[in-house]
């Protein structure tokens, strides 16, 4: 169908949506703009769909959301195990999130699937918890995580509370593609409530979730002893973490928590930050002065859907240092393992899980404590799959999982990264340090001194539109086909091609026991490594590098920076 025909179809569709209609009218004479709006359907993958808000099939809007919801309903109705079960639905503070969530619920109801909709914004991990708690067939959360304000998204979860598996996502994609936008219609809200096809949920789930989070603490006695002495500043970055994080910290025994007032309440424009992303040190610009004023030594920040946690910790000179996701992950891993070993509760069959692009420092920590460490592809659903495998086989007890992208989990009743759980654990670790007369930053230095200095860096390249997609495809094709002898003078020991499912080295080839994924990883000498993968939900490609050094973190950082730059040039 030509873009002109698609434009007319969407103008008919948007006759009762004045904002969308105005966009279409403004762009009807701009062929490049029309191409970007209409050249493809907004992609639906294992992370759901995510895109810029606006009019068109390649945008997030009420029509693409309704169609996705209708596809989910048809997918569930075709599965005998899902019939009669509800779908749990949550949303964050982004523009239109509440409307998109309600429309999702009403479209499901219209197609015979009961919807359980949260009464207000909630963290993503609480949605995952609700899916399992309610015995739901699936879950949906309307969020674009830490993306800029012009984005929103539709994330789908399976009955295990983890994001959809690749197979389930493929089936749902087929169901969506079989539908027109015109036939994805909602039920009347009052009728849905009257007939029980729509149920509003809230405090009962909140209380159960909070109890679960507190039950994951490993040193609750220490927190009760010194928690009143620890001072924390917290910023929810205008998102859904505000009430759940504060409630959990208070009930754990952390009584001095100050919230950045300018960033406390929901704001779809995220007007106080460059991006609502706790990975960005600038996200803490307002929190640091408040921490100095309050005498705090730890600052916590969560993203809009509260699945990622960032941390600033005071160093010995009184400066606040923003920690990387790998550093936070290793602090929490060490905290859990050391506390459980001291208490005699570290199981012999304990296991931890990290993504393939997360730090090798975790390997050294797990080896020291006799804990098996598993690696999975990027995407927390793969950590969720490992948890399920451990439960099904009884082979291991899950202790902790993390990704370098600021995602952490220490329990099994949530199957996605959980910043509420992580915030309580960071506060608990800080209390243990306080009792020992050191800071959280001091603990990190102790870990480096014991296991060696590791540093990791990433770089994301954005390639928007159709031309950008072709550039990303070209970069990946080259790296799948070519294997360099060295990168920045460091010898390549092996290449792992996760799309082809094979690792190659001088010793030969061996299969990789992972699902196919468009990822290339180079294992280098001296515990160095590089990796590249395209995003599944955004027009981006990410480059990763990791380096280690026995002498200092600065040496590791310099080596890592040089390695990453050399790898980027090689790929391009």
Supply the pLDDT for residue 462.
87
Residue 485 above 90 pLDDT?
Answer: yes
Among 417, 451, 485, where does a domain finish? Answer: 451
Mean pLDDT of the chain: 95
CATH code assigned at 512: 3.30.310.50
- Residue 45's pLDDT band, with cuts at 50, 70 and 90, is confident
67 and 182 co-located in one domain: yes
**Contact present, 304 and 294 (Cβ < 8 Å):** no
Query: Per mean pLDDT, which range of 27-31, 205-209, 417-421 is the poorest?
Result: 27-31
Judge if 496 and 400 occupy the same domain. no
Instruction: Reduce the DSSP state of residue 567 to 3 states and report it.
Output: helix
Residue 4 pLDDT grade (very low, low, confident, very high; cuts 50, 70, 90): confident
Is pLDDT at 150 greater than 70 in this prediction?
yes
Considering the domain architecture, whether residues 292 and 399 belong to the same structural domain is answered as yes
Question: Is 35 within a domain?
Answer: no
User: What is the structure's pLDDT at 464?
Assistant: 81
Res 540: pLDDT: 87
The reply to whether 441 and 462 lie within a common domain is: no
Give catalytic status of residue 145 as yes or no.
Answer: yes
What is the pLDDT averaged over residues 393-410? Answer: 97
Rounded CA gap, 488 and 202, in Å?
54
Residue 537's pLDDT is 62
Same domain for 477 and 440:
no
**Both ends of the chain: CA-CA distance in Å?**
34
Coil, strand or helix: which one is 72?
Answer: helix
pLDDT surpassing 90 at residue 395: yes
Tell which wins on pLDDT, 196 or 29: 196
Same domain assignment for residues 314 and 364: yes
Reported confidence tier of residue 469, pLDDT bands at 50, 70, 90: confident
How many Cβ atoms from other residues are within 10 Å of residue 209's Cβ? Answer: 27
Residues 134-151 as b/e (b if ≥16 CB within 10 A, e otherwise) read: bebbbbbbbbbbbbebeb
| Structural domain contains residue 158 | yes
Tell me: do 81 and 192 sit in the same domain.
yes
Share of the chain above pLDDT 90, in %: 90
43: confidence class by pLDDT, cuts 50, 70, 90: confident
d(CA 28, CA 170): 33
Tens digit of each residue's pLDDT (9 = 90 or more) over 167-223 = 899 999 999 999 999 999 999 999 999 999 999 999 999 999 999 999 999 999 999
Same domain, 291 and 338: yes
Task: Give the separation between CA 71 and CA 63, rounded to whole angstroms.
Answer: 12
Q: What is the pLDDT of residue 112?
A: 98
Determine the structural domain holding residue 295 and report its residue range: 209-451
Residue 64 sits in a domain of what CATH number? 3.40.120.10
pLDDT digits (tens, 9 = 90+) for 229-242: 999 999 999 999 99
**Are 109 and 242 part of one and the same domain?**
no
Q: Which of 424, 451, 478 is the last residue of a domain?
A: 451
Q: Taking 60 as the threshold, does the pLDDT of residue 1 lie above it? A: no
Considering the domain architecture, whether residues 535 and 481 belong to the same structural domain is answered as yes
Q: Which of 82, 128, 145, 355 is catalytic?
A: 145
pLDDT tens for 53-101 read 999 999 999 999 999 999 999 999 999 999 899 999 999 999 999 999 9
> Does the pLDDT of residue 442 top 90, yes or no?
yes
Dist. CA 150–CA 167, nearest whole Å:
30
């Amino acid at each position: 169908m030509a873009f002109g025909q698609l434009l007319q179809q969407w103008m008919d569709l948007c006759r009762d949506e004045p904002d969308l209609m105005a966009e279409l009218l403004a762009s009807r004479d701009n062929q490049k703009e029309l191409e970007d709006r209409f050249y493809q359907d907004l992609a639906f993958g294992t992370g759901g769909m995510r895109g810029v808000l606006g009019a068109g099939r390649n945008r997030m809007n009420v029509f693409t959301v309704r169609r996705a919801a209708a596809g989910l309903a048809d997918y569930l109705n075709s599965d005998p195990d899902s019939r009669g079960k509800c779908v749990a639905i949550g949303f964050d503070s982004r523009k239109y999130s509440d409307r998109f969530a309600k429309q999702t619920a009403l479209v499901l109801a219209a197609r015979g699937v009961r919807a359980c909709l949260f009464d207000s914004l909630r963290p993503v991990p609480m949605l995952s918890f609700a899916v399992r708690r309610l015995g739901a067939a699936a879950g949906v959360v309307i969020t674009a995580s830490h993306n800029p304000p012009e984005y929103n998204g539709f994330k789908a979860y399976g009955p295990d509370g983890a994001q959809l598996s690749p197979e389930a996502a493929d089936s749902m994609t087929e169901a969506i593609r079989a539908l027109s936008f015109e036939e994805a219609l909602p039920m009347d809200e009052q009728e849905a409530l009257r007939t029980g096809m729509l149920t509003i949920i809230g405090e009962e789930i909140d209380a159960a979730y909070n109890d679960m989070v507190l039950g994951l603490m490993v040193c609750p006695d220490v927190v009760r002893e010194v928690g009143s002495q620890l001072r924390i500043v917290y910023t929810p970055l205008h998102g859904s973490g505000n009430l759940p994080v504060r409630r959990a910290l208070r009930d754990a025994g952390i009584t001095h928590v100050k919230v950045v007032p300018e960033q406390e309440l929901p704001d779809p424009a995220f007007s106080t930050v460059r991006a609502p992303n706790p990975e960005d040190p600038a996200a803490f610009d307002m929190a640091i002065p408040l921490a100095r004023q309050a005498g705090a030594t730890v600052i916590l920040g969560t993203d809009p859907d509260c699945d990622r946690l960032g941390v600033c910790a005071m160093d010995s000179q009184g400066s606040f240092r923003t920690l990387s996701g790998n550093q936070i992950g290793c602090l929490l891993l060490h905290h859990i393992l050391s506390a459980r070993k001291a208490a005699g509760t570290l199981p012999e069959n304990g296991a931890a899980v990290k993504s393939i692009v997360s730090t090798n420092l975790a390997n050294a920590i797990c080896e020291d404590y006799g804990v098996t460490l598993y690696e999975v592809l990027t995407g927390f659903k793969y950590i969720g799959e490992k948890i399920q495998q451990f439960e099904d086989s009884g082979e291991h007890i899950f202790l902790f999982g993390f990704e370098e992208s600021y995602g952490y989990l220490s329990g099994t009743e949530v199957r996605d990264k959980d910043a509420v759980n992580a915030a309580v654990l960071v506060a608990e670790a800080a209390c243990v340090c306080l009792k020992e007369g050191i800071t959280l930053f001091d603990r990190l230095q102790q870990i480096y001194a014991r296991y060696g200095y590791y540093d990791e860096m990433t770089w994301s390249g954005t390639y928007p539109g159709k031309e950008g997609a072709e550039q990303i495809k070209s970069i990946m094709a080259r790296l799948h086909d070519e294997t360099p002898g060295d990168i920045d003078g460091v010898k390549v020991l092996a290449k792992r091609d996760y799309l082809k499912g094979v690792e190659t080295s001088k010793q030969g080839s061996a299969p990789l026991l992972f699902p196919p994924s468009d990822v290339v990883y180079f294992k280098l000498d001296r515990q160095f490594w590089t990796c590249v993968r395209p995003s599944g939900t955004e027009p981006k490609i990410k480059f990763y590098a990791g380096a280690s050094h026995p002498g200092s973190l600065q040496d590791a950082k310099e080596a890592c920076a040089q390695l990453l730059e050399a790898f980027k040039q090689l790929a391009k």
